Every structure is written in structure tokens, then in C-alpha cells.
Amino acid sequence: MYLPIIVVVVYSFNESKLSSVWAGFSLKWYDELFRDKSMLSALGNSVLLALLSSGAAAVIGTLGAVGMSRAKLRGAKTIELIATVPIMAPEIILGMVFLAFFSLIGLPFGMLTLVIAHTSFCVPYILLLVKARLAGMDKSVSEAALDLGASELQAFFTITLPQIAPAIASGMFLAIAMSFDDVIISVFVTGVNTNTLPLKIYTQIKTGVTPKTNALCAIVFACSAILAAVSSRVGKKSA
């Protein structure tokens, strides 16, 4: 599992421009990387995109799961099925339909379209995790709170929310990771001026690679390793 990652990280310290020759240890590619303005702006876009879409998905997904658990709603099963299509269907289909859809309703391609598209595949993670958590929860506690005179809102914020918080958090982490990694959907819905990090890496890999790409990948790897470690901590606490 780790072999390709190690190869990339090792070669990011390679002095030589050619990936087949090892010419000694160097940090110059990292230096060049941090001077590349377009790279930094792509990074900024990716971070913003991941935060916005996982945030929006957290609200939509959590509320949806809570609402559906409270009463038998008409069409709940169908909505849930459709809502999970974005993580079931091959991503290429999503990219294609979003491109067609956004051009039909005339939304300008850019951050907004990216956020909507990414939110669509972030929602299912949160919806499913929160739903599973709610199913395993003791309902009598929040019912007791209601009997003792708490309002629905009070019961939600003091009893339900703290209990489902870990599920929301791990869903969000997963959503952030997925959004941060997405190439396929982003290719279709991004605008001319909005580049995300994976798109940038993709173009670089396609058109002649420099060790700068390796350096970038190494940094991205470090970030996701940290994110994964934090998330598994959070997950452990919830278990």
C-alpha cells in the first residue's frame, strides 16, 4: 500500500530534474513550490471548497437524518436512495450531469458550482453515519427530557446533538478527505479561473512532471495523514 507513496516522497528530495536519476538530497523543489502563486491559490481553493461543502453537507445530512428518525415521512426511503446515488454511481456520471445541469440553469462555473457538486457527494456520508448513530441511540432519554418539560429544540441541543456529534465529525472528516481528493467531478464543474489542487496535480502529471509535483504530493500526503490520524482519534472516542 505504501510503496508508491514512499517513491513519491523520496523523489521529492531528488536534486535532479529527471525522475530516473538520483542526484543527491535537496530541498530546492519545496522552495520553488512555495514561490508558485498559482499552486498556493489552488491549495486555498481546495481547502475552502472542502470546508464549505462538508459544512453544508453536515447541516443538510444531520437535519435530514434527525427529521427522518422522528417520524415516518412520506417518500423518506426514496429520498434516501436518491441522496446516496452520488456515492454509488460512478463519479463520471455525476460530473457529466452536473455540467449539463449547471449550463442549463445558467450558473456560472466556479466555486459555487464546485461547492454544490461536492456537497452532493458529501451529504450521503453524513446522512448514513448519523442515521446509524441515531438508530443505536436510546430514545427514552430524549423522551424523558420532553416529558420533563424541555422543548423539542432544547431536547435536541442538550440530548441528541451531543450524542450524534462524533458521527457528524467522522462523516465530515470523510467528506473533507473525499472533496480534497476529487478530480473527476471537479474537472467537469470548475470554471476557467478556479483551479483546485488535485486538478493542478492532474494537469502537471499529464504535461511533463517536475519534482515540484513530488514535493507538492509529499505535502498533501502529510496533511491527509494528519487528518486521518485525528479522525481515527475522534472515531475511537465515539466508539
Partner 1 sequence: MKTWRFRKAAAFLTALPLYVFTIAFVAGPLVLMVAISFLSRGESWGYVLEPTLRNYKGIFEPAYTAAFAQSIKLALVSTVASVLVGYPFGYFMARLSPEWRSRCMVLLIIPFWTSSLMRLYGWMTIFRANGVLDSALMAIGVIKEPLKLLYSFPAVAVGMVYTLVPFMIYSVFSSAEKLDWSLVEAARDLGASPAQAFLTVILPLTMPGLYSGIVLTFIPSMGLYFIADLLGGSKIALVGNIIQEQMMRVHNMPLAAAFSVVLMGLTSLCLLAYRKLAKTGELEGLIQ
Please list every residue from 55 through 84 that binds partner 1, using CB under 8 A: 59-61, 63-64, 66-68, 70-71, 73, 75-76, 79, 82-83
Applying CB under 8 A, which of residues 48, 111, 112, 116 lies at the interface with partner 1?
A: 116
Q: Which of residues 79-108 bind partner 1 (CB under 8 A)?
A: 79, 82-83, 85-93, 95-101, 103-104
In whole angstroms, the minimum distance from the beta carbon of 170 to partner 1 comes to 8
How many chain residues are in contact with partner 1, going by CB under 8 A? Answer: 82
Q: Which of residues 149-168 bind partner 1 (CB under 8 A)?
A: 152
In whole angstroms, the minimum distance from the beta carbon of 185 to partner 1 comes to 11
- 41-79 as b/e, with b when 16 or more CB fall inside 10 Å? bbbebbbebbebbbbbbbebbbebbbebbeeeeeeeeee
In whole angstroms, the minimum distance from the beta carbon of 82 to partner 1 comes to 5
Asked if residues 111 and 49 have their Cβ atoms less than 8 Å apart, the reply is yes
Applying CB under 8 A, which of residues 1, 37, 148, 149 lies at the interface with partner 1?
A: 1
10 Å CB burial of residue 184 (0-12, 13-18, 19+) is middle
CA distance 152 to 35: 53
In whole angstroms, the minimum distance from the beta carbon of 34 to partner 1 comes to 18
Which listed range, 2-10, 29-37, 47-55, 137-145, lies at the site for partner 1 (CB under 8 A)?
2-10
Instruction: Give the largest CA-CA distance in the chain.
Output: 73
Applying CB under 8 A, which of residues 114, 179, 180, 190 lies at the interface with partner 1?
A: 180
In whole angstroms, the minimum distance from the beta carbon of 8 to partner 1 comes to 4
Q: What is the 3-state secondary structure (H, E, C) of 128-191?
A: HHHHHHHHCCCHHHHHHHHHCCCCHHHHHHHHHHHHHHHHHHHHHHHHHHHHHHCCHHHHHHCC
Would you tell me how many other CB atoms lie within 10 Å of the CB of residue 37? 8
Site string for partner 1, 11-40 (x = CB under 8 A): x-------xx--------------------
The secondary structure element, H or E, covering residue 7 is helix 3-12
Asked if residues 179 and 54 have their Cβ atoms less than 8 Å apart, the reply is yes
Told to check if 53 binds partner 1 by CB under 8 A, we report no
Q: Which of residues 182-221 bind partner 1 (CB under 8 A)?
A: 183-184, 187-188, 198, 201-202, 205-206, 209, 213-214, 217, 220-221
Question: Which cell goes with 239?
Answer: 466508539
